[in-house]
Amino acid sequence: MDNDYRPKVQRFSRWFTKKHNSRPHSSLSTHLSDGSGDEYEEEDSSISSEMDNPCILTNELRIFVATWNVAGRSPVGSLAMDLDEWLNVKESADIYVLGFQEIVPLKAKTVIGVEDLTEARNWNLLIGQILNGFPWRLNQVTSEDCNYLNVSETETRAGTSLEEDELNGCSRYRLMASKKMVGVFISVWISTRLLKRYCISRVKVCAVACGVMGYLGNKGSVSVSMSIEGTSFCFIVAHLASGEKKGDEGRRNHQVSEIFKRTTFTRHLPDDSTRPLTILGHDQIFWFGDLNYRLYLQNDIATELIKKQDWRALQEFDQLRQELGDGGVFQGWREGNIEFAPTYKYSTFNSNRYSGTLPNRAGEKQRTPAWCDRILWYGKGVKQHSYFRSESKFSDHRPVSALFSTQIEVMKSDETSVVSLQHDAPTTVSSKHTERGNGEASSTLRSLITRDSEASPTNKKL
């Protein structure tokens, strides 16, 4: 994009925001990148933006994103220790976004039967206990469609109220949003300090089923959309088609495309009309889950490279990396550098051995190990500080997590200052797992003007 054009667009966006709302809408952005990805250019642009518009500050949040395929197993008390290690609460984040797959067995009864929220509730209870350090109470959720906390309607909040939190002084995190579709499940938790400090609005959920016949929920996604001050977020948990035969990656690519096309969030406009907000209409987007992309590699060769811990050589055969490079899916998206062993498939529960590594093992499936469980992101102002797997043996998958710092735009007031919420936690986590390169994903005019963000994503954005 012409550099002379960029400041004009930024000035128009700020004028449009100020004219139509006292707060910057989540679908608007004051940033436009030419895709150069230079870290120092980004910092200069941020300084220039604040100088041009002194009413907007940029604050930093820490977001923990994680995914785990739990193989149809229910949470049990002994799992608490594994969850404590997985969530790493000592390095506390402002927001925890947890995605699960197969929280129920993928049988005909659970796929085509009435949705049962029991397992989702059990997982939320255990997560709340770990994050808050004590048995956590979750009020019964009556909605059959979704289970989420709408911060604009105090009466619908799940769990204890903020006032009760202040009285007992114990609850550090509250359940903000939760959605289940068969076995795919998302749970979003936000620190009480953040809830008190910032305006959090437009909390919406969406489910897209694209499994059997293209419309059953054994595969698909659940998503959460929300705005924190002037920055919009979208979190997508997906469970894509399985299979390691040549060509199976095409089915996964198709499901990714379907999720982009069919994920929408209802948005109310000033003229009392409603129009859908798509995934790419958000400022910062995180896509994670059991994406099921495999390795184009024979099992014995993969096993040898794993023994050598030669992750770079192994990644040369990774389907998702090849699709990203070829522009097949997720063009412009990013993933941190993988420096851990493949997360799937372990032979049995409580095992450190990959499935099929012992000859003639009765009833054991032969599977080439693969990085099925992944975390991707898209948007400006996102930095990844760690990308790692945990070692719980609860499932035939290992959990995968990432810690990010993100920037949000805040309207300046006498009470507002540019500080991190987590004063007791370091801004940067020391880790050998760092992201690939310093480039930021290119923004588009879609994030600047409301009507453009309503358009459905195109293939070049996937």
Q: Is the predicted pLDDT of residue 345 greater than 60, yes or no? A: yes
The model's pLDDT over 131-179, given as tens digits with 9 standing for 90+, comes to: 998 777 765 443 334 444 443 332 223 334 454 444 345 689 999 999 9
Q: Is the predicted pLDDT of residue 375 greater than 80, yes or no? A: yes
**What average pLDDT does range 106-127 have in this prediction?**
92
Least confident of 38-42, 81-85, 395-399: 38-42
* Contacts for 179 with CB less than 8 Å, ≥ 6 apart: 146, 147, 148, 185, 186, 205, 206, 207, 222, 223, 224
More confident residue, 18 or 289: 289
More confident residue, 35 or 194: 194
Preceding amide of 107 cis, omega within 30: no
Query: What is residue 16's predicted lDDT score, i.e. its pLDDT?
Result: 43
Distances (CA, A) of 265 to 208, 277, 320: 12, 5, 27
What number of residues does the chain have?
462
Q: Is the predicted pLDDT of residue 453 greater than 60, yes or no? A: no
* Contacts for 447 with CB less than 8 Å, ≥ 6 apart: 27, 28, 29, 281, 282, 283, 453
Query: What is residue 275's predicted lDDT score, i.e. its pLDDT?
Result: 85
The candidate with the shortest Cα–Cα distance to 369, out of 381, 355, 380, is 355
The model's pLDDT over 36-76, given as tens digits with 9 standing for 90+, comes to: 333 333 333 343 445 556 677 889 999 999 999 999 999 98
Q: Is 65 helix (H, G, I), strand (E, B) or coil?
A: strand
Separation of alpha carbons 260 and 303, rounded Å: 35
Q: What percent of the chain has pLDDT over 90?
A: 55
Separation of alpha carbons 262 and 206, rounded Å: 9
CA dihedral 119, 125, 128, 129 (to 10 degrees): -130
Q: Is the predicted pLDDT of residue 363 greater than 90, yes or no? A: no
Burial 52-80 (b: 16+ CB within 10 A, else e): ebeebbbbbbbbbbbbbbbbbbebeeebe
Separation of alpha carbons 234 and 206, rounded Å: 11
> Between helices 5-20 and 39-52, what is the axis angle to 10°?
40
The model's pLDDT over 229-274, given as tens digits with 9 standing for 90+, comes to: 999 999 999 999 999 988 899 999 999 999 999 999 998 877 777 8
Other Cβ atoms less than 10 A from the Cβ of 241: the count is 18
* Contacts for 359 with CB less than 8 Å, ≥ 6 apart: none
Q: What is the pTM of this model?
A: 0.76
Tell me the pLDDT band of 228, cut-offs 50, 70 and 90.
very high
Q: Where are the beta strands (DSSP E) in 199-263?
A: 200-209, 220-228, 231-239
Burial label for 134, CB within 10 Å (0-12, 13-18, 19+), is exposed
Pairing outcome for strands 56-69 and 95-101:
parallel
Q: Is 109 helix (H, G, I), strand (E, B) or coil?
A: helix
Q: Is the predicted pLDDT of residue 81 greater than 80, yes or no? A: yes
